[in-house]
Chain A
Amino acid sequence: MKVSNHLIILATIILGFCIDELLNPLSIKLFLDLNFGFLIFAYWIFAFPERLKSSASLFYGLVIDLFFSNVVGFNMLFFVATSYVIHLYVFRLRIFSYLQLSLFFSGSSTFYIACKYLLLSPNNYSYLVLIVSFIITAILWIGVYFSLRAFRRSVFVKL
């Protein structure tokens, strides 16, 4: 994959984290922790499993850690782990229905949020936040999936 394509993918992930930064102060009052950045990253791994390997995940995670996280290594760790799981089960995931995909990616996102709270802010850990985030993320995943698919088909024509 070309560097320009990596930059496009990284830009979409950064955009997702920017949206999270903007909306989370509002959505957290409704016990909702949005996680568009992670969902977008997961989509790209799901879409290009052969082209986005561990090094790409590590790099994306490092950039996100440097710009959006309080610690270096957190997003790197989760990106690499998520990437590995998706790579491992990508052909199984492709025969999943949209509902099953929603539940899988929403579950991954919720696990990410849970770990984030446990590691970085254990005092704010809340099951209500996790449950609400799981439900809402499952719904949002459909939108993220179709939007990014349309974007991928228009931008990455030759891939």
Chain B
Amino acid sequence: MARSTPKHTPVRSYAIGFFLSAFLLFSDISYGTFAPLRSFFHASALYGQMVSISFFQKITNTFSSIQNNSSLLQENKNLKEEMLKIRTHDFINSLHNEALIQTNNFQEDLIASVDSQNINLLELASIDLRNYLCCSTHRVFLKTTNSAQVGKNIPVFAGKSYIGQTKDTSMNFIEVILLSDSKHVLPIKSKLFYCDARGAGKPMLISCKLNNNDNDSKNQIGDLIFTSGLGGVFLKDIEIGFISAIKPFLFDEIEIVITLKTNPLEETIYGIVRKEQDES
């Protein structure tokens, strides 16, 4: 607050003001002297009020229309997002349905092949592609759940045939050794021979060495190969592939190269047949 030294307040100017005001008040109350002037100012004030109200109304309308536009734009955006979500959802659903159909078909094939209802269907988690394409170790990993515990050396189906057998289970993943792994041995048979076919270490190939006698020399490329069931792991008479090459190995032996029926790179659903004792 402003600070100043006390000064004398001249009463004259205030007295003039006071009496002037009193006179105006008296004349206005008694005779309505300033009624037209007052009316003019009141009318001006009202006019100003109306103008300001209409001005504010216009501003409000402008803002509300902008808000409406922005809300419409927002709604449009929301609807677009919703449509996109529905489309994506439908696409995923259709894919899921296709996968379900494939799975059901595979399960039906599997049931027909092995003549058993005790089948666990598992999804592919990963395939060791680097080794599969170049080297002799051919493994795939399947996703499992705690409820579906699977032991070792259980045959694994994919497509319409065997593809390998379980090797190990860890942290909900089942390691499957493929038939083409060089460490895998599969008892097989054809119309003319029985043998233990070893994985060739090349994709989809296993090989078998036979004595070059008269009977074995009658094998022809394209002959179908089946499991013999002799190892006690695989069921017998399941078609696993066909002879794709016959090569002389030593002076009295030949190597029969068998191309497997199922390509693991094309399969995503794998089936494992539970043994009877596993069910209990």
Contact = CB atoms under 8 A, between A and B. Distances in A.
Interface of A: 47-51, 53-55, 57-58, 61, 65-67, 69-74, 76-77, 80-81, 83-84, 87-88, 91, 94, 119, 149, 159
Say what secondary structure dominates the interface of chain B.
Answer: helix
B22 interface: yes
Say what secondary structure dominates the interface of chain A.
Answer: helix
B91 interface: no
B29 interface: yes
Interface string B1-15: 110101101010110
B1 A80 contact: no
B11 to A, nearest CB: 7
B24 interface: yes
Given A47-B2, A71-B38, A80-B18, 7 more contacts: A54-B16, A71-B25, A73-B23, A77-B18, A77-B22, A84-B11, A84-B14
Contact of A119 (B23, B24, B27, B29): B29
Contacts, number: 80
What are the 9 tightest A-B residue pairs by CB atom distance, in nearest-first order? A73-B25, A73-B24, A77-B21, A76-B21, A80-B17, A72-B34, A66-B41, A84-B14, A54-B13
Nearest to B3: A94
Contact of A54 (B14, B37, B42): B14
A84 B9 contact: yes
A15 to B, nearest CB: 14
5 contacts: A48-B2, A50-B2, A70-B38, A72-B28, A80-B17
A73 B38 contact: no
- Among B11, B26, B41: residue with most chain A CB under 10 A: B41
Interface residues of B, number: 29
Contact of A76 (B24, B33, B37): B24
A71 B29 contact: yes
B9 A87 contact: yes
B84 interface: no
A81 B14 CA distance: 7
Nearest to A75: B21
B271 to A, nearest CB: 82
Contact of A58 (B2, B21, B26): B21
B7 A50 contact: yes
A60 B249 CA distance: 123
A81 B24 CA distance: 15
